[in-house]
């Protein structure tokens, strides 16, 4: 039976599916080698396989959604968030977004900080307290967490870099058996895990988190006072008196523009032929029939005067470098979204509502609500090269738009666009020719999000105010 799917939609969905696979955000099912166990990896890990880990709730194994940009957001290299409060403001606002439950990034109405703030303002805790022995146990585990969390985060980041390098190579091997995963990547992954366990105190931190998640909210007065203090400590003010919640990141901003820490990513005709469709597509939306792989807009936001341009089927080879940047919101306790020890106060404007109904990607059950996912990392791209044959009509149109200062993208990648936040405005321009496209600059192309559970989901066995 002939393939009737539009080439543009097919290219974007397969490109998305491989990026998600390379980042460990989706399962390996469906590719030619997906059913084959990496026996060498299992041997290196002594009979087991390494796993992707939760950033919001250490020790858990949540579902993830990769929300891919269409196209990417250019990031200038001339900012200085360490010294400039306005640059911290610009990046924090950019990274405070809440995506809708969609594999193609669409911004929801609220922000992470505003939604979290609403919990602090409108919650109602249960009428509970801990006995002295349990309180002592809780305090001991909070002390363990505070002592080791910085080391835990440091070695977790190193583990994630090693994991990304392995997953990217594995994703290519899935579609092209002639390109096996180098043994060196597997050995580096094992060493990164060993270091995380030994030097990052992985087991101690995750055991402490389990105790804290169970008991901390059972001392409501101290718990909520601590959360309020923590939120205030993360509040900063720009030079124009705009308050914002600081979003930090690892690796640091200055390291985004260095050579270290990047993972090679490729997408070839072999991937186009063999890459299976991500299980997320369909559950988290589908492309419109008018979709074209090129997107043009008169401004950098793609909110208005935007159009898609389709291209005819052709062979394309993509190559770029990817970097995962973990987001750190020290003013927030993310366990609150999992906690069953709060509910909306009856007199609050949010009474009877839910942030999320809870969902199950594997079970094809999409969640609903204003905040169904929380971004835990951004994916950066740089050094994009696309080799192939582009119709002269396409290249002439795109170059004409670029000369007119329009924003132009192909799939998740920005070719020409701008960064316009606060008083910081810069633009970038890649190149489009009949034989290829290049976009060397750093840009955000996706968010990795953890799927939130049903929230709020109060435990009815607890004593609540009447």
Q: Is the pLDDT of residue 22 over 80?
A: yes
For 91-140, the pLDDT digits (tens) are 999 999 999 999 999 999 999 999 999 999 999 999 999 999 999 999 99
Q: What pLDDT, on the 0 to 100 scale, is given for residue 2?
A: 46
Q: Is the pLDDT of residue 232 over 70?
A: yes
Helix (H) or strand (E) holding 69: strand 64-74
Q: At what angle do helices 183-198 and 202-215 cross, to 10 degrees?
A: 60
What does the angle CA 355 – CA 356 – CA 357 come to, to the nearest 5 degrees?
135
Cα separation of 14 and 27, whole Å? 14
Note whether 266 and 385 are within 8 A (CB): no
Q: What pLDDT, on the 0 to 100 scale, is given for residue 35?
A: 47
Q: What pLDDT, on the 0 to 100 scale, is given for residue 50?
A: 83
Q: At what angle do helices 220-233 and 112-122 cross, to 10 degrees?
A: 150
What's the length of the chain? 466
Is the link from the previous residue into 71 a cis peptide, with omega within 30 of 0? yes
Q: What pLDDT, on the 0 to 100 scale, is given for residue 58?
A: 63
Is the link from the previous residue into 378 a cis peptide, with omega within 30 of 0? no
Q: Is the pLDDT of residue 436 over 70?
A: yes
Note whether 103 and 67 are within 8 A (CB): yes
Query: What is the radius of gyration, based on Cα positions, of the chain?
Result: 23
Name the pLDDT band for 37 (thresholds 50, 70, 90). Answer: confident
DSSP letter at 188?
A: H
Q: Is the pLDDT of residue 423 over 80?
A: no
What does the angle CA 27 – CA 31 – CA 35 come to, to the nearest 5 degrees?
75
Cα separation of 379 and 412, whole Å? 11
Cα separation of 362 and 309, whole Å? 33
Q: What pLDDT, on the 0 to 100 scale, is given for residue 301?
A: 53
Cα separation of 134 and 120, whole Å? 25
Mean pLDDT computed over every residue of the chain: 91
Sign (positive/negative) of CA torsion 372, 376, 382, 387? negative
70-92 average pLDDT score: 95
Name the pLDDT band for 280 (thresholds 50, 70, 90). Answer: confident
Q: How far is CA 130 from the centre of its chain?
A: 36
For 119-132, the pLDDT digits (tens) are 999 999 999 999 99
User: Which residues, 6 or more positions from 195, have their beta carbon under 8 angstroms from its beta carbon?
Assistant: 155, 158, 159
Q: pTM score, two decimals?
A: 0.91
Q: Is the pLDDT of residue 209 over 70?
A: yes
Number of C-alpha atoms within 13 angstroms, CB side, residue 72? 30
Q: What pLDDT, on the 0 to 100 scale, is given for residue 419?
A: 85
Tokens of 81: 């968030």
To the nearest whole percent, how much of the chain has pLDDT over 70?
A: 93
User: Taking Cα atoms as reference points, which of 306, 308, 380 lies closest to residue 72?
Assistant: 380
User: Taking Cα atoms as reference points, which of 328, 287, 258 lies closest to residue 96?
Assistant: 328
What does the angle CA 230 – CA 231 – CA 234 come to, to the nearest 5 degrees?
90
Q: Decide: helix, strand or coil at residue 90.
A: helix
Q: What pLDDT, on the 0 to 100 scale, is given for residue 30?
A: 42
Residue 444's beta-bridge partner residues? 73, 380
Q: What pLDDT, on the 0 to 100 scale, is given for residue 29?
A: 45
| Phi, then psi, of 442 in degrees rounded to 5 | -75, 135
131-160 average pLDDT score: 95
DSSP for 229-296, written as a single string: HHHHHTEEE-TTS-EEE--EEES-GGGGGSSTT-EEEEE-HHHHHHPPPPTHHHHTB---TT--SEEE
Q: Is the pLDDT of residue 56 over 70?
A: no
Note whether 67 and 73 are within 8 A (CB): no
């Amino acid at each position: 039976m002939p393939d009737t799917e539009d080439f543009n939609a097919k290219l974007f969905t397969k490109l998305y599916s491989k990026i998600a696979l390379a980042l460990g955000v989706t399962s390996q099912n469906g590719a030619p080698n997906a059913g084959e166990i990496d026996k060498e990896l299992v041997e290196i890990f002594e009979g087991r396989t390494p796993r992707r880990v939760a950033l919001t709730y250490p020790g858990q194994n949540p579902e993830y959604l990769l929300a891919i940009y269409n196209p990417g957001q250019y990031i200038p290299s001339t900012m200085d968030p360490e010294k400039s409060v306005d640059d911290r403001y610009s990046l924090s606002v950019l990274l405070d977004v809440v995506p809708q439950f969609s594999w193609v990034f669409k911004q929801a109405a609220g922000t992470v900080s505003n939604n979290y703030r609403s919990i602090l303002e409108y919650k109602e805790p249960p009428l509970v307290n801990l006995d002295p022995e349990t309180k002592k146990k809780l305090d001991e585990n909070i002390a363990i967490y505070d002592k080791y969390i910085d080391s835990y985060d440091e070695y977790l980041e190193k583990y994630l870099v090693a994991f990304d390098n392995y997953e990217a190579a594995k994703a290519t091997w899935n579609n092209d058996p002639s390109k096996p995963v180098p043994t060196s990547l597997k050995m580096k992954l094992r060493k990164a895990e060993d270091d995380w366990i030994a030097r990052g105190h992985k087991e101690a931190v995750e055991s402490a988190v389990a105790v804290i998640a169970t008991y901390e909210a059972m001392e409501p007065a101290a718990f909520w006072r601590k959360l309020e203090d923590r939120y205030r400590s993360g509040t900063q003010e720009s030079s124009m008196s705009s308050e914002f919640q600081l979003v930090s990141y690892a690796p640091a901003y200055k390291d985004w523009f260095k050579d270290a820490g990047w993972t090679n990513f490729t997408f070839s005709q072999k991937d186009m032929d063999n890459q299976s469709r991500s299980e997320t597509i369909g559950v988290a939306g589908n492309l419109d029939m008018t979709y074209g792989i090129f997107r043009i807009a008169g401004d950098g936001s793609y909110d208005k005067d935007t159009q898609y341009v389709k291209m005819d089927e052709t062979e394309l080879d993509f190559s770029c470098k990817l970097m995962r940047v973990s987001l750190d919101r020290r003013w927030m306790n993310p366990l609150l979204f999992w906690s069953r020890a709060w509910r909306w106060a009856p007199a609050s404007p949010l009474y009877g509502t839910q942030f999320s109904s809870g969902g199950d990607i594997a079970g094809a059950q999409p969640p609903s609500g204003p905040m169904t996912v929380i971004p835990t990392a951004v994916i950066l791209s740089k050094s994009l090269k696309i080799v192939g044959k582009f119709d002269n009509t396409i290249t002439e149109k795109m170059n004409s738009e670029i000369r007119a200062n329009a924003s132009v993208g192909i799939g998740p990648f920005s070719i020409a666009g701008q960064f316009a936040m606060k008083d910081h405005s810069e633009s970038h321009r890649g190149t489009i020719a009949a034989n290829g496209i290049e976009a060397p600059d750093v840009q955000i192309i996706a968010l990795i999000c953890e799927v939130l559970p049903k929230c709020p989901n109060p435990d009815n066995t607890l004593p609540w105010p009447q």
